[in-house]
Amino acid sequence: MGFVTPDYGTIFWMLIIFGIVLFILKKFAWAPILKALKDREQSISDALNSAEKARKDVAGLKAANDQIIAEARKEKDLILKEARDIKDKIVAEAKNQANAEAQKSIEFARQQIAAEKTAAINDIKKQVAELSVLIAEKVIKKELEKSKDQEVLVESLLKDLKLK
């Protein structure tokens, strides 16, 4: 059999065998093998995608946590500031009240003093009037006795009165 002349018997058998092998392998080997490869690739890529998604979720969660902490800190600062303000206000109010109270007491004392003074003056005036009356009485009596002495007396009495 020559090399370069194809033998029809070989071609005949080869056509049949290769055709059958192609059919069998296509149906029972390549279909499941290629499907398994595709499925595995799909599952691997799915797993990678979900891992990536989980990583992103975690990153998002962390960012959210940071935000919550920052907000809480801000709120804390706010509360502290408010408390300080309130304290300052209370202290200031108390001081004012105390001042007002003191002022009132002083005012009251002053009024009391003024009243006492007026009363004392009035009392003195009354006594002077009574004394005057008394002196006048005595002068009148002395005049009756001696007019000159009377004058002297009145004089001295008045002098005394002025001194008082």
Partner 1 sequence: MTRIIQSFLVILFAVLFCTGVSRANEADSTATEGGISKKFNAGKFVIEHVSDSYEWHIATFGETEISVPLPIILYSSTKRWNVFMSSQFHHGHETYNNFRIEAEGKNEGKIVELNDQGEVLSLPVDLSISKTVAGIFVSVIVLLFIFLSIAKSAKQRVNQAPSGMQNLFEPIILFVRDDVAKPAIGEKRYERFMPFLLTVFFFILINNLLGLIPVFPFGANVTGNIGVTMVLALFTFFVTTFNTNKHYWKEIYNPEVPWWLKYPIPLMPIVELTGVITKPFVLMVRLFANILAGHLIVTVFVSLIFIFAQIMGIEAGLGVSVISVAFSVFMLLLDVLVSFIQAYVFTLLSALYFGMASPEHH
Q: Pick from 26, 55, 110, 141: which binds partner 1 (CB under 8 A)? A: 26
Query: Does residue 33 bind partner 1 (CB under 8 A)?
Result: yes
For residues 19 and 60, which CB has a smaller minimum distance to partner 1 in the complex?
A: 19
- 115 is a contact residue toward partner 1 (CB under 8 A): no
Smallest distance, Å, CB 56 to partner 1?
Answer: 24
Q: Determine how many CB atoms are found less than 10 A away from the CB of residue 128.
A: 13
Q: What distance in Å separates the CA atoms of residue 55 and residue 153, rounded to the nearest whole number?
A: 124
Binding-site residue total for partner 1 (CB under 8 A)? 34
Of 36 and 70, the one with the shorter C-beta distance to partner 1 is 36
Q: Does residue number 12 form part of the binding site for partner 1 (CB under 8 A)?
A: yes
Piece of 9-17, 48-56, 80-88, 120-128 that binds partner 1 (CB under 8 A): 9-17
| Contact range with partner 1 by CB under 8 A, out of 4-12, 48-56, 69-77, 94-102 | 4-12
By CB under 8 A, residue 51 contacts partner 1: no
Residue nearer to partner 1 on the CB measure, 33 or 69: 33
Token output for 142: 């002395």
SS (H, E, C) the chain: CCCCCCCHHHHHHHHHHHHHHHHHHHHHHHHHHHHHHHHHHHHHHHHHHHHHHHHHHHHHHHHHHHHHHHHHHHHHHHHHHHHHHHHHHHHHHHHHHHHHHHHHHHHHHHHHHHHHHHHHHHHHHHHHHHHHHHHHHHHHHHHHHCHHHHHHHHHHHHHHHHHC
Binding footprint of partner 1 on the chain (CB under 8 A) = 1, 3-15, 17-18, 21-22, 24-26, 28-37, 39-40, 43
